[in-house]
Amino acid sequence: MTKHQVFALAGSGTLALEVGVANIIEPGDKVLNVVNGYFGDYFVKISKAHGAVQKTLEIPWGKCVEPHQIREALKEDDFKAVTVTHVDTSTGVVNPIKEIGRVVKENSDAFYIVDTVCSLGGMEVRVDDWEIDACVSGSQKCIGLPPGLALFSVNDRVLDLLEDRKTPVGMCYGDLKNWLPIMMDPSKYFATPPVNMIYALSESLRSILAEGLENRFKRHHIIAEAFRAAMDALSIKLVAQEKCRADTLTAAYYPEKVEDGSFRSEMRKLGIIVASTIGPIKGKGFRVGHMGNVCENDILSTIGAIEATIARLGCTCGFGVGLAAAQKELAVL
Ligand SMILES: Cc1ncc(COP(=O)(O)O)c(C=O)c1O
């Protein structure tokens, strides 16, 4: 969903975030970092590391940032860049990046940098239409690859900016000027590319396009709805508020009596691995990824395992209640 320059470098999503910031920011530039989860804070650390004068727009975990909050924040200073996390994997909150893109363009000259590590390939990210200057992501989530590729795109505004910089980019490996010739002609050399991962990416993109992007987004949405319906039926509360729930991952709070370590080890015995919540809600809940190539069977077996596990741990939510609610949602697949 971009006609601009894409890059694939050996590294994880964090590298993509850093490359995006490092190439746009020079020491002393002002940056607005929106933080409503663990990964939003990565942009704060990275901005500081590259000498930015950063301001954090802090939103409580579980809520999304509202476009009017960005508009207000932009009045306070002349920001060179605004960073937003599309889906924060710590909460399962989705931020309205389309609307924010419009606000950023209408109210400033700031570059708009969006972390799509937990959404690209699973949810709509119309990079060019939504005015995203740098879209930064990774391989291991909705693209369905092993970890190891930093994937990102930048538009011509960013490429032009590289010509006007007064100071060198604060990282040699991530200096886009070193990579631009390679992306145009991979027979050239700057640093050894992860050829194995590039083959894997090519294969994965082939299967994504064979499924069709719209179909893929729809599948993610239906599976997410099924999982949310199941949690609701089991009276398990979600971390993200209702109006901003991502289709790629859900974070939920444990019901009473259920303790993190026992829950996850019981689930593991049933063959399902779920992550704990992190940051200030560490140990209070669990996170289920339903992204990439996750199918109906995966989500139903996860819900079944959750029902069995909470019952074993003394919670009387009733067997089959979550499964029945999920099956209704899945019927449209
Ligand atoms: C939203 C988000 N941003 C950034 C990152 C960092 O990516 P990586 O762990 O691939 O470096 C992650 C990792 O889970 C993430 O979920």
Which of 14, 86, 88, 90 is the pocket-test mutation for ligand 1 (most atoms within 8 Å of CB)?
A: 14
- In tens, the pLDDT along 85-128 reads 999 999 999 999 999 999 999 999 999 999 999 999 999 999 99
- Alpha-carbon torsion angle 300, 303, 308, 312, nearest 10: 160
Q: Residue 89: enclosing H or E segment and its boundaries?
A: none
CA of 39 to the centre of ligand 1 (A): 7
Which of 116, 118, 141 is the pocket-test mutation for ligand 1 (most atoms within 8 Å of CB)?
A: 118
Is 278 touching ligand 1 by the criterion CB < 6 Å? Answer: no
For the chain, the average pLDDT equals 97
**pTM of the complete model:** 0.97
CA of 101 to the centre of ligand 1 (A): 21
Distance CA 47, CA 30 (A): 9
Percentage above 70 pLDDT, the chain: 100
- In tens, the pLDDT along 281-323 reads 999 999 999 999 999 999 999 999 999 999 999 998 889 999 9
User: Is the dihedral angle over the CA atoms 40, 41, 44, 49 positive or is it negative?
Assistant: negative
Residue 64 CB-density burial (10 A; 0-12 exposed, 13-18 middle, 19+ buried): buried
CA of 282 to the centre of ligand 1 (A): 17
- In tens, the pLDDT along 42-75 reads 999 999 999 999 999 999 999 999 999 999 999 9
Provide mean pLDDT across the span 177-201: 97
For residue 208, what pLDDT is reported?
97
Maximal CA-CA distance, the chain: 64
At 280, give phi and psi (nearest 5°).
-65, -15
CA of 14 to the centre of ligand 1 (A): 6
Strand partners, 276: 286
